[in-house]
Structure 1
Amino acid sequence: MKIFFSPASPFVRKVMVVAHELGLADQIERLPSAAGPVARDASIRQHNPIGQVPTFFTDDGTVLYDSRVICEYLDDLGGGAFFGSGAARWRNLTDAALGDGLLGAALLARYEAVLRPEPLRWSDWTGGQLAKVTDAVDRMETMDLAGRLDIGTVTFACGLGYLDFRFPEADWRSTHPRTAAWFGAFAQRPSMAATQPGV
């Protein structure tokens, strides 16, 4: 198996956390990439027309994207239960969508700050995206996440880790103590330690 990889991508991290948890990480070759929202990587686009990471190759050469699809493939391959069944499946998928929404908004705010030329930056746009991030963490604060290991909680953890990595000035912990405590424990998992940005 192979994956177009970026150590800073929270979506790649989500895939690799699931792979580590299932004991599959050592079977996945990391392919270097230079994916970006403006200058897209031609080597990725040959396989994924969107040109984004993660883009994944199964052992038979099937190409999979995006992160949720890849995670579901790995879960099936590894006999996991990250997606669950019945009511738990819909909860897990909905939570994963909330986490992906947080990540999408955070990425857009990041791109606005570092890629858009300064005279063209729109503060209301950035504020709107970061408001989505805050609303997502507000919702997490109301949830009982203790003891859960599923695609929802993995996505939440990768989202909060991305905030720490790219928005260290965001003081989300002081206003979300339950989420902070949960994340502090979840971040100690070996899968999270092995996938920290830059590792």
Structure 2
Amino acid sequence: MSESPILFHSPTSPYVRKVMVLLHETDQLASVTLHGVTLTPVNPSAEVNQHNPAGKIPALRLDDGSVLHDSRVILDYFDHQHGGEPLIPRDGATRWRRLTLASLADAVLDAAILVRYETFLRPEDKRWDDWVLGQCSKIDRALESFEAAADELDERFDVAAISAVCALGYLDFRMPGLNWRRDCPKLAAWYASASQRPSVRATAPTA
């Protein structure tokens, strides 16, 4: 009898959260074993490093011992394991558009996490304000683009919507003073609705 895949997991990681939302949406949560880890760039996990040389989560160890890493790869893997409508379109212009929106959401996460590292982990006397401003500018540009694409996000809850809802949730969690809703009312309305999905509520990060 094969073992269930093992997902290296932290409830505060927005990249892990994307995978968890998809598992909820596709009713696959029971088929995965969660293995909790805590790590930062200055406090890596030897166990994670053993399976993912980049030292990042999520990482997914399959029953044959092979390991997948990067949330986008793991999302694609799990999207091929269920019998429902794919959450990552398989081909055509829709595929590329939805993956591009998902990539933009990941860019928000990348920038927000860099801000988090700079303002929380780095000693105060070594912080670089211009660096933080540069990352915040990336976030602002991406949110402006998502505001224009809010109707597209509302079309279906797929890889684009999952990625966006997790990115916005992370902004609220780690950058609560950003007040992005003021400048993005359509996006805020979409997020308010999407946040009520059981999969999103069940995976919300807590301090």
TM range (shorter): over 0.9
Question: Partner of 2:65 in structure 1?
Answer: 61
Does residue 159 in structure 1 map to residue 163 in structure 2?
Answer: no
Local SS of the residue matching 2:7: strand
Q: Structure 1 residues 46-55 or 31-40, which shifts more?
A: 31-40
Superposition map of 1:16-35 within 5 A: 16-35=20-39
| Match for residue 121 of structure 2 among 112, 115, 139 | 115
Q: Distance in 2 between matches of 1:63 and 1:112?
A: 30
Q: CA deviation digits over 1:12-52, x for unaligned, max 9? A: 00000011100001221111212211221101001001111
Structure 1 regions of 5+ residues with no counterpart?
A: none
Q: Distance in 2 between matches of 1:173 and 1:31?
A: 35
Does residue 38 in structure 1 map to residue 56 in structure 2?
Answer: no
Does residue 125 in structure 1 map to residue 131 in structure 2?
Answer: yes
Q: Distance in 1 between matches of 2:120 and 2:87?
A: 34
- Give the drift of 1:158: 0.2
Does residue 83 in structure 1 map to residue 91 in structure 2?
Answer: no
- Give the drift of 1:60: 2.8
CA RMSD of aligned residues (A): 1.2
Structure 2 regions of 5+ residues with no counterpart?
A: none
Question: Partner of 1:186 in structure 2?
Answer: 194
Return structure 1 stretches of 4+ with deviation > 3 angstroms: none
Give the % identical residues. Answer: 46
Q: Distance in 1 between matches of 2:60 and 2:80?
A: 15
Question: Aligned residue pairs: how many?
Answer: 199
